[in-house]
Structure 1
Amino acid sequence: MADNTNVQYNEESIRSLDWKEHIRLRPGMYIGKLGDGASLDDGIYVLVKEIVDNSIDEHMMGNGKTIEIKISEHRVEVRDYGRGIPLGKVVDCVSKINTGGKYDSGAFQKSVGLNGVGTKAVNALSNYFKVQSFRDGKSKWAEFAQGELIRESGEETTSQRNGTFIAFEPDNAIFKNFRYIPQYLDNMIWNYCYLNAGLTVSFNGQKYFSQHGLLDLLRSKTDEDAIRYPIVHLKGEDIELALTHGNQYGEEYYSFVNGQYTTQGGTHLAAFREAIVRAVREHFGKDYAPEDIRSSIVAAVAIRVQEPVFESQTKTKLGSNTISPDPNSTTIRTFVNDFVKERLDNYLHMNHEARDALKKRIEQSERERKELAGIKKLANERAKKANLHNKKLRDCRLHLTDLKNEGRLESTLFITEGDSASGSITKSRNVQTQAVFSLRGKPLNCFGLTKKVVYENEEFNLLQHALDIENGVENLRYSRIVIATDADVDGMHIRLLLMTFFLQFFPDLVRNGHLYILETPLFRVRNKKETIYCYSEEEKQQAVTKLGNKPEITRFKGLGEISPEEFGKFIGEDMRLEPIILQKETSIQKLLTYYMGKNTPDRQRFIIENLKIEKNIEEMVLA
């Protein structure tokens, strides 16, 4: 242990950082975790949001109906047609903390960004940053590098429409090996459009537009054949909601505050979940269990409040209890409850078919819950005993539920198969943030089975308890669930079976970006001076060309062949993860039926057609 008794603590020990130094030294305080873009909450997406949020705030104030966004591999450009930053404050607005136009609630009544930090954080964390304002026939621009002003213009004459243009390139020294995943950006932009009906966003040349707001959002998330009744869409002043019930397991919510997608919910979502239960109980005059009322619900709720308080700079969870800073203002709980109670009750009185379908769905959930009760009790007792000596789980020290620890966002559970692979990961992992769950052979194909199988199958039950997702993903213990299997046919099959398990019973876990595939190298190419690990045939050829003179090439056939020392390099800072992403229009039921159903005609046709192609290739090679 170091001896610090002689370390001097005096005036020279105190250091003041300027704004950009502080942001670059502690980026997590401003944008959450860093990451490389594999997770939807990685910092590079927060940077995009911070800039687009400003343009959205302008639109909400009635300035500009179009936003243009261009995102290439490492560069982001955003152009809006709002009022434009006042030309005399162009530099200050992007480089001076606590400088902005949103402190006066008269200018921006219900905006997302209020603390004047977001754009400055983007500036400080970018290798290159440019801001340009167009205002009443005049323009001014400024360019920065890592927050440092490098050049600026004077006022120039322009023919362009009023508005603001911002371009930036994230600093690759901070966001190592980063890449933007198009599907994440696509979902982000659609959410902006759903929350701002009438807004047009052009993203890399493609137009995004929603006419019906949250109704369109829920239509994109549900299969018309699978919902029990037409989507209920209710709008009021500063509140909008849409809801229906389906046949899936769990509860599915999309919650928003002032146009911000609050992925972790907050006071407004808690109030909405409570309001649904209260309104349904009072309408039917029955004391239904909350879990039966909300089972299989798919809903979206958006509210607008003055000066919202979020629990972090990334604004993923609302902390406000009232709809305005006035201490006498209505609480969010009362506001949401009153609206849902009145408007949903009226809707059900006027739409008898929807009312009857909702009642039928609730009573079905009640029956299923009671049928499962006995099995769950026995399974949970077995799981408790197993947890004391759970040979399948090698746990880590930090978990996603450790709210006061920044490292919780790195908490990872590797699911792997076989003793050798599990052993390699276990020996090389970071015990602070990485846990390992070992499978015994191939898991059961649970497609088409009821949740009863989760409790009857010991492996599924122990996995459910390791993740702590029995009652939904709110208590999920790991930020990332990583399927780590061999890249051969058996490994691919195990991946499919595990993905089926999560999609069938815990789809929210996939929708919220928690499920990944671990990419491990297929080849090791080395000479006496250098070793290169290659993840594809193309990378192998490049490595051979680089090293030259017939380097040694090793083909890894399985995870168990990779030594623990080597494995540590693939699950550390440079770990390659492929996220499992559900497309906006994906129907989980149709997806699972196609891939995991019993020889569906479509799948048979696909296999036959591809076999013909392979046969033709073989004939060409033989010729």
Structure 2
Amino acid sequence: MVENNTVQYTEDNIKTLEPREHVRLRPGMYIGKLGDGSAVDDGIYILLKEVIDNSIDEFRMKFGKRIEVKIKDGKVVVRDFGRGIPLGKIVDVVSIMNTGGKYDDGAFKKSIGLNGVGTKAVNFLSEYFQVKSVRDGKMRRAEFREGKLETLHDEAETTERNGTEITFIPDETIFVNYRFRSEYVERMLRNYTYLNLGLKIYYNGEVFESQNGLRDLLEEEIDGEIVYPIIHIKDEDMEIAVTHSDKSQSETYFSFVNGQYTSQGGTHLNAFKEAYVKTIREFFGKNFEASDIRKAIIGAVYINVGNPVFESQTKTKLGSTTMGQDKDGNELETIKTFTINYLKSKLDNYLHKNPEIAEAIQKKILISERERKELSGIQKLARERAKKVSLHNKKLRDCRQHYNDQKAARKAESQIFITEGDSASGSITKSRDVETQAVFSLRGKPLNSYGLTKRVVYENEEFNLLQAALNIEDSLEDLRYNQVIIATDADVDGMHIRLLMITFFLQFFPDLIKNGHLYILQTPLFRVRNKKETRYCYTDAERIKALNELGKNPEITRFKGLGEISPDEFKHFIGKDIRLEPVLLGKDQTIEQLLEFYMGKNTPDRQSFILQNLVVEDPEIDKKEKLEDTDA
């Protein structure tokens, strides 16, 4: 008789989770991917943003011109000087879903968040959370652990100014090995100030404020020379700033809705790009190619929309198609129509009043047109070659879900590893997640592209195939992988390849770096183990700690190259415990300065940089390895 092993599906299988339990079980639904803080869209920054968004909404309602943010050792404190949460509701507002003051349009018009989820998610995903509110000489606090109320303090007299203070520590069981990176936090805070003139944000002793809105943003982001002075136009519901770079090959955009930075754009950015092209064509009376009009453009657009609809809880892409509703509930004009009319009026008038800027724009378009035609022949050949090779391209082992696929459930997790040689790529390929992780294998050291023109991207087969794999020829709009990861050995050759690849992206695709998509894979340098436990150590300090904690004579192995790490072990280093180091542009660094540092004259600074990032040979480990080899 055959035994029936079918799992029974009954009423007992149906479970209802409390909101707190659901957020902790499925955090990705509320804050996107988790991460450890190495990526700008990692969960800990979404937690911070959700708290600050409430303070920004207070400012936008003209309550409080100052926000204080303190982050130290993983603990975050955000204090605003708005009205303060009503004291009798401080527990409800941070712990009961769909509770808040933003559903009343009279209290919050065109606010950032309207779904009543944000601060609750922060509370539920924190190992410690405290809310404190001050209103008219009274203060009250509530403390939570993992979203559960621990202590509700009675009201007390205070001389503090009105406002709300939120303190939280992300839960380390959810955000493993997390760390807040100041570069990402500072960019977030600067973006808030560009959109909210008169606001001052104090972060760990540093002050952020803006006098000129999006013009300040572009001036902060521009590398090198620009073709003409920044065009800056603004009124109540829209603000734009635009210019063209003298050297860049790509389009660069920054888009915002109701004070929210929409890193993935959306309907408003698409409308801006279409409206800009349409306005320029009509102004000059010529049907220029859209790519020639927008080549090397640096633009920022900000729009205010009633009850905005975003494509996810993290609000990184606008999905709304209209400007909202009127007081009778009727839909207002579409965002596309509004933007086209806005630019047709405001930008057209600006160009008529500033003929020298109009002349510079036309000259830039004609130069782009000439460059495009000069490259068209080599581009056609390169595309045909790439298409032919892609059918049997052994250098790319692709994944199934991609960043530019709106239907892909795990698109934010998509990664591509750029590796050196077949042994390293083989280990990664065998241990990767085929759903979200792709591998591109370099033949050896790539060409040094420092100082070369983009023509080389098409003439060099490897660069052309990589460009095609990433899908970034014209812009990052259809980038296929959220994280582009350089995976090389930590030796002289590996470091050189790493620098050559960083140079390639800096030279031709700097927006990949500016938008936080380029990373270095950190792999363990040592394995320390005894019969009961194995530890992987990424630094010498971790190795020493493991030696001290694992008792007498543990076995030590140094990994000299990625190819030496077996696929069974490699799966730990590119899975949930992956360690990535983002390639970042420093606050005071330009692309030209970085290129000169990496690939200019052989400076002592670069020599020092390479030495600091190489594995130092340890004679004791060498001796032990040789003994193990002899025993074998």
How far 1:606 sits from its partner (Å)? 4.1
> Does 1:533 find its partner at 2:536?
yes
Question: What is the aligned partner in structure 1 of residue 499 from structure 2?
Answer: 496
| Residue aligned with 2:477, SS | helix
- 2:450 and 2:420 map into 1 onto residues whose CA distance is 20
| Contact kept in structure 1, 2:503 and 2:598, CA below 8 Å | no
Counterpart of 1:621 in structure 2 is: none
The aligned counterpart of 1:63 is 63
Deviation for aligned residue 1:403? 2.3
Q: What are structure 2's unaligned runs of at least 5 residues?
A: 613-632
Count residues in correspondence: 606
Determine helix, strand or coil for the equivalent of 1:474.
coil
Give CA deviations for 1:476-529 in whole Å, capped at 9, x if unaligned.
111111100011111111111111111222222211211110011112222333
Question: Equivalences for 1:391-410 in 2 at 5 Å?
Answer: 391-410=394-413
Aligned-partner Cα distance in 1 for 2:580–2:510: 19
Secondary structure of the structure 1 residue equivalent to 2:112: coil
SS state at 2:405 partner: coil
Q: Give TM-score, length-normalised by structure 1.
A: 0.94
2:380 aligns to what? 377
User: What does residue range 24-103 of structure 1 map to in structure 2 within 5 Å?
Assistant: 24-103=24-103
2:227 is equivalent to residue 228 of structure 1: yes
Establish whether residue 591 from structure 1 lines up as the match of residue 588 from structure 2: no
Please give the secondary structure, in 1, of the residue aligned with 2:256.
strand
> 2-side partners of 1:203 and 1:214: how far apart?
21
Which segment is superposed worse, 420-429 or 311-320?
420-429
3-state SS of paired residue (2:410): helix
How well do the aligned residues superpose, as a CA RMSD in angstroms?
1.9
> d(CA) in 1 for partners of 2:468 and 2:229?
35
Other-structure match for 2:158: 158
CA distance, structure 2, for counterparts of residue 583 and residue 500 of structure 1? 16
Question: Does the CA-based 8 Å contact 2:256-2:262 persist in structure 1?
Answer: yes
Q: Does 1:218 align with 2:218?
A: yes
> What SS does the corresponding residue of 1:406 show, helix, strand or coil?
coil
Alpha-carbon distance between aligned partners in 2 of 1:574 and 1:466, rounded to the nearest angstrom: 26
Greater Cα shift, 343-352 or 88-97: 343-352
Contact 1:532–1:543 at 8 Å: present in 2 too?
A: yes
1:239 to 1:394, Cα distance in 2 relative to 1, 3 A: same
Q: Which moved more, 1:368-377 or 1:394-403?
A: 394-403
TM-score by length of 2: 0.93
Q: Which residue of 1 aligns with 2:21?
A: 21
**2:222 maps to amino acid:** T
Q: Which residue of 1 aligns with 2:546?
A: 543
Number of the residue aligned with 1:7: 8
Distance 1:158 1:142 in 2: 16
Task: Determine the structure 2 residue equivalent to 1:345.
Answer: 348
Q: Residue type of the partner of 1:232?
A: I
1:412 partner amino acid: Q
Q: How does 1:303-318 map to 2 (within 5 A)?
A: 303-318=303-318
Q: What pairs up with 1:571-582 in 2 under 5 angstroms?
A: 571-582=574-585
Determine the structure 1 residue equivalent to 2:239.
240
Give, as a single letter, the amino acid of the residue that structure 1 aligns with 2:603: Q
The one-character-per-residue Cα deviations of 1:554-599 (angstroms, maximum 9, x if unpaired) are 22221122222222221121111101112344321232133223x2
Report the counterpart of residue 249 of structure 1 in structure 2: 249
Distance 1:604 1:577, change over 3 A: closer
Q: 1:126 to 1:396 in 2, by over 3 A?
A: same
Which residue matches 2:621? none
Deviations 1:294-336 (A, max 9, x none): 0000011111111111111100001111111343412111211
Mapped to 1, the partners of 2:237 and 2:479 lie a distance apart of 31
Aligned with residue 450 of structure 1, among 449, 453, 465: 453
185-194 or 585-594, which moves further after superposition? 585-594
Q: Distance in 1 between matches of 2:148 and 2:449?
A: 56
Distance 1:15 1:98 in 2: 21
Instruction: State the 1:423 CA deviation.
Output: 1.4
Aligned partner of 1:617 in structure 2 is none
Residue equivalent to 2:624? none
User: What does residue range 427-466 of structure 1 map to in structure 2 within 5 Å?
Assistant: 427-466=430-469
Question: Could you say if the C-alpha distance between residues 485 and 341 of structure 1 is closer, same or farther in structure 2, counting changes exceeding 3 Å?
Answer: same
Bigger drift between 13-22 and 380-389 goes to 13-22
Question: Per the alignment, in what secondary structure is the counterpart of residue 234 of structure 2?
Answer: strand
For residues 492 and 607 of structure 1, do their structure 2 counterparts lie closer, same or farther at Cα, with a shift above 3 Å needed? Answer: closer
The residue that corresponds to 2:118 in the other structure is 118
Pairing of 1:281-320 with structure 2 (within 5 A)? 281-320=281-320
Q: Is the 8 A contact 2:597 2:606 kept in 1?
A: no
The answer on whether the counterparts of 1:398 and 1:432 sit within 8 Å (CA) in structure 2 is yes
Q: Which residue of 2 aligns with 1:520?
A: 523
Please tell me whether residue 568 in structure 1 is matched to residue 571 in structure 2. yes
Distance of 1:549 and 1:586 partners within structure 2: 48
8 Å Cα contact 1:221/1:585 also seen in 2: no
**Residues 502 and 509, structure 1, Cα contact 8 Å, conserved in 2:** yes
Matches of 1:377 and 1:4 in 2, distance apart?
59
Asked whether the 8 Å contact 1:524–1:531 carries over to 2, the reply is yes
Distance in 2, Cα, partners of 1:16 & 1:559 = 46
CA distance in 1, matches of 2:22, 2:607: 60
The C-alpha deviation readout for 1:109-135, integer Å capped at 9, x for no partner, is: 111010111011111111111111100
| Structure 2 letter corresponding to 1:553 | I
Q: SS in structure 1 opposite 2:67?
A: strand
Runs of at least 4 residues off by over 3 Å: 2-6, 603-611
Classify 1:5/1:546 alpha carbon distance in 2 versus 1 (closer, same or farther; 3 Å): closer
Query: Offset at 1:354?
Result: 1.6
Contact 1:187–1:584, Cα closer than 8 Å, also in 2: no
Rounded Cα–Cα distance in structure 1 between residues aligned with 2:206 and 2:526: 39
**Separation (CA, whole Å) in 1 of partners of 2:157 and 2:63:** 22
Structure 1: gaps (5+ residues): 614-623
Shift of the 423–237 alpha-carbon distance from structure 1 to 2, 3 Å rule, reads same
Q: Distance in 1 between matches of 2:250 and 2:238?
A: 24
Quickly say closer, same or farther: Cα 1:609–1:149, change in 2 above 3 A: closer
AA matched with 1:28: G
Per the alignment, residue 619 of structure 2 pairs with none
- Measure the CA separation in 2 of the matches of 1:544 and 1:328: 67
